[in-house]
Amino acid sequence: MKRILILYRELAGYFLACLDELCMTYDIHADIVAYPINKDAPFQLKHSQRVSITFRSDYDRNSLKEKIKQGDYALIFVSGWFDKDYLFALSARRCPAIIGFDNPWRGSLKHYIAAVYGRVLIKPKFDFAFVPGSKQKTFARYLGFPASKIITGVYSCDVPKFSSIQRTGAQPKRLIYVGRYAPEKFIPQLFEAFLAVNASLLEPWELHCVGVGPLYENRMINPQIHHHGFMQPDELMAFMAVGNAFILPSLYEPWGLVVHEFAAAGYPMIISDAVCAAEAFLKPGFNGYLFKAGNKESLKIALSELLLNSEEELLLMGERSKSLAQSITPSSWAKSIHALMA
């Protein structure tokens, strides 16, 4: 049985689902070193017995290096370049190393400086880059990775699990938001835009929001807007069985895995053009609508277009979302990782 080492930040269920697929399909054991769970998303995580998890606080840079030296690993996967001790410890490796990151290339001065820094201090430590989409692939090229050493598809939701949801429409119709209550999610403006558009409809919708964050205590209270707080994965799965459309209006979203989850569950959607996952899971007019990030009027137009669709049209768009969701799966993730192993 081969072993791999994962040096990670905050674990999430989708990553463990991909890792379980890798371990079970290819007879692999995974050792993970990770940071504590985010307090704004305290998920109760499940994984197979082929995955062992220890905490970052149990190691200093020398013990990390020793773990790599003694581990006889076939591959080392590091999430990003934020932890300098992770990067330091890689000097002891005797196997391929892959860096995964979701930073989209934005062409700013900061990014050009980061690219110069990365070519000198990051790229030499890794053989491959594993990124979610085209904007991150561009960043990897600026870091010095040749195209042949860049793999896309680093993020996948548990597609079989979310595709199994037997979704039924609601009455009144439900528009669902899942994410943090934070300024970068454009949440206050979403509430205002939704109420403005909803007031013009003969059959008004409801907006149902799942999540917590710094703006939660000051959330808008309105009978047409429902706040559900944080949900564990099983709760969210049950909640997603009843709904009509999904929205993610972020000002900045390096990827947005929740888009993949709702696409797999068969939801039509509205997404801002700052959500990078739109490139994989949204075709405007086909399975939903795209609007200009930070522009409330553009958001209102997208809301008007979606909310006026008939139930039959919404169901058709949802089936199209399901089809798009199959482009990235835990199986494709596992296949990509396995191909890189020594």
Percent of the chain, pLDDT > 70?
98
Number of domains the chain is built from: 2
pLDDT band at 48 (very low <50, low <70, confident <90, very high): confident
Q: String of b and e for 274-307 (b: at least 16 CB within 10 Å)?
A: bbbbbebbbeeeebbbbbebbbbebbbbbbbbbb
Q: Which residues touch 92 (CB under 8 Å, ≥6 apart)?
A: 65, 66, 68, 69
Per-residue model confidence as pLDDT tens digits over 273-307: 999 999 999 999 999 999 999 999 999 999 999 99
Alpha helices in the chain (DSSP H): 13-26, 61-70, 84-89, 109-121, 134-142, 159-163, 187-198, 233-240, 257-264, 278-281, 296-307, 311-325, 330-338
- Can you give the pTM of this predicted structure? 0.94
Query: Residues 167, 316: one domain?
Result: yes
Query: Residues 61, 186: one domain?
Result: no
| Domain that includes residue 20, residue range | 2-157+328-338
Query: Residues 55, 200: one domain?
Result: no
Query: Residues 178, 265: one domain?
Result: yes
Per-residue model confidence as pLDDT tens digits over 149-184: 999 999 999 999 999 999 988 899 999 999 999 999
Query: Residues 79, 181: one domain?
Result: no
For residues 213-223, average pLDDT: 96
Query: Residues 46, 152: one domain?
Result: yes
CATH code: domain of residue 232: 3.40.50.2000
The answer to whether residue 130 scores a pLDDT higher than 90 is: yes
Per-residue model confidence as pLDDT tens digits over 105-126: 999 999 999 999 999 999 999 9
Query: Residues 14, 142: one domain?
Result: yes
For residues 299-321, average pLDDT: 97
The answer to whether residue 41 scores a pLDDT higher than 90 is: no
Query: Residues 188, 308: one domain?
Result: yes
The answer to whether residue 39 scores a pLDDT higher than 70 is: no
Query: Residues 147, 167: one domain?
Result: no
Query: Residues 135, 55: one domain?
Result: yes
Query: Residues 216, 117: one domain?
Result: no
